[in-house]
Structure 1
Amino acid sequence: MNARLKLKELLQSPEITQVPSVFDGISARMAQATGFQAISVTGNGVAASMLGRPDVGLVSLTESSQVARNIAGAVDIPVIFDADTGYGTALNVTRAVQEFENSGVAAIKLEDQVTPKRCGVLDVPIPVVTEKEYLGKIEAALWARKDPDFLIIARTDAANTLGVEAAALRAKRAIDLGADSALIIGVREKEDVECVMSIIDTPLLTLVEEKGPMSTLHVSEIEKLGFSLALYPGPIRFSMAAAARRALEILRDEGQSTSFRPHMLKPEEWYELMDIDSYFDIEKRFVRGSGEAEQPVP
């Protein structure tokens, strides 16, 4: 089964699927090696890893599509990519869909923020475009896709400024147009979840932040709320950053990394994660020289 059909299957499954958010090839491979069935790409993490900058719309479509291609090529499991606002108007959305579909990812999330956008989980106002404009983008995305198994996920940040009910209604209208699922950012309280579920009768994604009431719930409890996929944007990027910072502090203060080595991968574990033996096998099978020029026959 290809990755796109697998993601469709996971969405329809009665059991919830945990989906960690990655941002590059190594974090994607770690998630797959740990046994997760799907991954999501966090725009926040991509902006940080590529630019060392916050998630405020600085990453271009060209840069994002290359990241998508790299990650999709590094793993076999479905990849859900954060396509931000589609990088412009509905016209830009059509190209974005073509780029991401060709990259090999299984799905994109398309959001309704204004430009410049910002990370949707910041504790600041998150303005969104009019529903008319957003639904035009959803229609453009559906029109542009060639593979019907490539999923378009309608993400809305409208709950932040317009309220949960307005956000749920916006997501429902996107689904009615043909979007495969929806992700409503800012739905954290039980009564908010109940409001969403009373409006939308389609398998939904949810974002499990590292703060707020949902952050302390076991995945089985999130399943009982009615969600099909639970996306976790924080564990990988926050943990990797914290561990790297601590290792650097120890290296600076102690003059060596010895005391931190119990927390590091061993070199052999690193190369196993990179699947280096398979490349050695390819080398043995096919490499028959080192690029030297063929000498002409006298």
Structure 2
Amino acid sequence: MVEGKVVLVTGAGGGIGRDIALLMARHGARVVVNDVGASVSGEGADVGPAQKVVDEIVSAGGEAVANTDSVSDPAAAARMVEQAVQQYGRIDCVVNNAGILRDRFFHKMTAEEFDAVLKVHLYGSFYVSRAAANYFKEQESGCFVHMTSTSGLIGNLGQANYNAAKLGIMALSKSIALDMEKFNVRSNCVAPFAYSRMIGAIPTDTPEQQARVEKIKQMTPAKIAPICVYLASDQAAEVNAQVFAVRNNEIFLMSQPRPIRSVQRSEGWTPESLAEHGMPALKGSFIPVERSGEVFTWDPV
């Protein structure tokens, strides 16, 4: 599917990123395996995880190289893209998968906790994508696969930083798709359901939370990789600016914000008329205050 392509996968030392890197290589891609080797909260660093995945790819007959730069630093993001070009002569796909968690209820969240998560998820996706964009423009081809989350698309408790970053990534992807379509560059999002270190940080204080985590454990990271390989392939040439969710063996095309219902008064609105007429007319179409788990209520197939 991706024979001869050069793919950079960030956060690929374990979990979802590892399985994406392995399957990309199995389908013929040359892979730059990026991972700083940090904890789920982003602390510490270890070159081991990225190199271990490279060793797996090479032992299976593929081509790969390790990178331990941080996506949260624009210069480091540029270096990882340069490494791909120097090592393999080009770059064809960026999979923005790197992420950390600093979960905290909003009224307790610190500025540092908010900033750290946005730096890795949202800024990191921008930095790496921006570094690759010039190469994609010059060669008039390329694609981005960004990891978003239903926590951002729908909502989740205690993750204002993560949710803001993940919803921002959807808008970033759409902007890239719009701005670079004329250069034959595509940008899409994947919202993965899979058990990994990231999911391991979900609270399990209540029976309901424990049951939710047990369901998620059934969904392995390997289930996320196929759609990423497909999106990186030439067979996905007409797939652009879309958001997919992958939940075990289910693949969803997710909605994007569009008008639902409108009200109009020829004389214009006042606060009073909005209270008496406008909001009551719209109320039946209000979006509920829900979490992701309250929308995806059935067991994964």
For the superposition of Structure 1 and Structure 2, which TM-score range results when normalised by the shorter chain? 0.3 to 0.5
Kindly name which structure, 1 or 2, has the bigger radius of gyration based on alpha carbons: 1
| TM-score normalised by the chain length of structure 1 | 0.37
